[in-house]
A and B are shown apart, each in its own frame.
Chain A
């Protein structure tokens, strides 16, 4: 047996050297694949974010009234004016900033709340899990719209932050359930047990061993929460329940509706905010799809165009048929 022992070690050692991966592998893992979806989505999002940051500095005062009401685009007003002569482009810049602020605030709050309740409950298990899960389920069924109506009747001066907090409170539970499910599958993995055996503290097991593996999921939940918040806020504002004295895409649409923009044919008033809303939502969805594909490669492999690529050309098909005959 001793002969086989020494021999068996040698090929093993050789195998180790042959299996050495190349030096490029570290970068390969660091970023997701640059698919068309990701590129288009990120480009649109980047453009809109840039507009939200820079726009308000270079435009006029969005609230300034003038006597040129409902002027079509051109001649000093890039996107025309509203009924009371306010510059639509300036309003759009401020509205973009307002909507994105709400989106980001709600996105961050949602991720923090949902990972707090999802991860800790699922990791702790037992009574803690039951309590956290019950709380999540209750939050899941709190209806957002009636809650905001109630709040708006009590608070006369609603800030943009209040709306963001309300949207976050009504919106975090869904993603908490998703995160909980994923954590339940992670916490029983051998590497979590191994880190416990190594003597890691509980908070370190959660933060260092489990949370990094949730990053793709958290990223997609974050993006989803932003879409949810911006659309939700637009809906609330359109109903007149939004933040007072603020500009968002929703309030622009609300004032356009109130000013009979549709009936007067003032398309430059309601098309820009509506279009940006749709574009931004679509772009974030594209980013979300590519994150999903990164998490689950099965979603990626068989698109229609790729299946077409595998197909034989007519010439090849003929050749195969002839061979078969």
Chain B
């Protein structure tokens, strides 16, 4: 059971413009809590700081201010602390065509995190777990898929392999950065449902980053709306969608196709 908390996290980037430098505040004073079994959706337009939060959650970037607490304790400095942290927090990347190394097999991608985080397992046990994970993301037959290279798989299959990789260290928290935006519309729901099923089985805390309000409402318990690095609105999913308070949320909600509203417009 893992809980992760962002407390007043801020991230500034230095922007060099010739001789002068300025700072860009990508994320401004964001606090959120990821708990087991709960899905939080982070909604916002491109450049609003969603992915920066993901990077900080994965220790790829260090926050300028504020802290990230794992089970109430700050993340230890140094390699060993980061390593333990990464066994608990994993990520599914946006683009399944870029997130798998074209040189390595699918099996390699999933076996490495297992070997890194469970060094005592024998080779046969690792292979067994790889096949088990592939079966769980519904890539049958697992043994065949483990030998394939990424370019031999379709987009949806790759993204499911990427999900299997993220689950390999058996994490408690999963960050999904727009996991279906690069996929064909017809297979998006399948991948999202798979994520939902796995979350229920593993009791994962999920941060679902997206700019799609409809899926955010469907798959998450709580929605946070980000705008220019600030969380402008937060609350239970239905509340945020049905009673948007902030200007930007209303804009987002209005942009989503709404058949009832359209029919009303047509009939009047």
The interface of chain A, by Cβ under 8 A from chain B, is 1, 4-5, 8-9, 11-13, 15-17, 19-21, 25-26, 29, 189-191, 193-201, 208-209, 212-213
* A199, B101: Cβ atoms closer than 8 Å: no
Sample (22) of A-B pairs whose CB atoms are under 8 Å apart: A9-B194, A12-B138, A12-B187, A13-B138, A17-B140, A19-B153, A19-B154, A19-B157, A20-B144, A29-B149, A190-B93, A190-B94, A191-B98, A193-B60, A194-B93, A197-B91, A199-B83, A199-B116, A200-B112, A201-B79, A209-B103, A212-B101
A202: nearest chain-B partner, CB-CB: B79
A209: nearest chain-B partner, CB-CB: B101
B102 within 8 A of A: yes
B117: nearest chain-A partner, CB-CB: A199
* A190, B187: Cβ atoms closer than 8 Å: no
CB-defined contacts of A4 to chain B, threshold 8 Å: 189
The digit string for B94-125, where 1 denotes a CB below 8 A from any CB of A, is: 11001111111000010011001100000000
B74 within 8 A of A: no
Residue of B101, B117, B152, B169 with most chain A CB atoms under a 10 A cut-off: B101
In angstroms, how far is the closest chain A Cβ from the Cβ of B88? 11
* B101, A198: Cβ atoms closer than 8 Å: no
- Among B60, B154, B162, B165, the residue within 8 A (CB) of A15 is B154
CB-defined contacts of A193 to chain B, threshold 8 Å: 60, 93, 99
Interface residues on B, range: 35 or more
A13: nearest chain-B partner, CB-CB: B138
In angstroms, how far is the closest chain B Cβ from the Cβ of A5? 5
B139 within 8 A of A: yes
The digit string for B134-145, where 1 denotes a CB below 8 A from any CB of A, is: 000011100010
SS of A interface (majority): helix
A199 to B100 CA separation, bound complex (whole angstroms): 15
A208 to B116 CA separation, bound complex (whole angstroms): 14
CB-defined contacts of A29 to chain B, threshold 8 Å: 149
* A16, B100: Cβ atoms closer than 8 Å: no
CB-defined contacts of B100 to chain A, threshold 8 Å: 191, 194
CB-defined contacts of B82 to chain A, threshold 8 Å: 199
* A199, B87: Cβ atoms closer than 8 Å: yes
A21 to B99 CA separation, bound complex (whole angstroms): 20
In angstroms, how far is the closest chain B Cβ from the Cβ of A1? 7
In angstroms, how far is the closest chain A Cβ from the Cβ of B152? 4
> Given A12-B190, A20-B144, A190-B93, A199–B169 Cβ distance below 8 Å?
yes
A198 to B82 CA separation, bound complex (whole angstroms): 11
In angstroms, how far is the closest chain A Cβ from the Cβ of B25? 22
> Given A19-B153, A29-B149, A194–B91 Cβ distance below 8 Å?
yes
* A190, B98: Cβ atoms closer than 8 Å: yes
B218 within 8 A of A: yes
CB-defined contacts of A26 to chain B, threshold 8 Å: 147
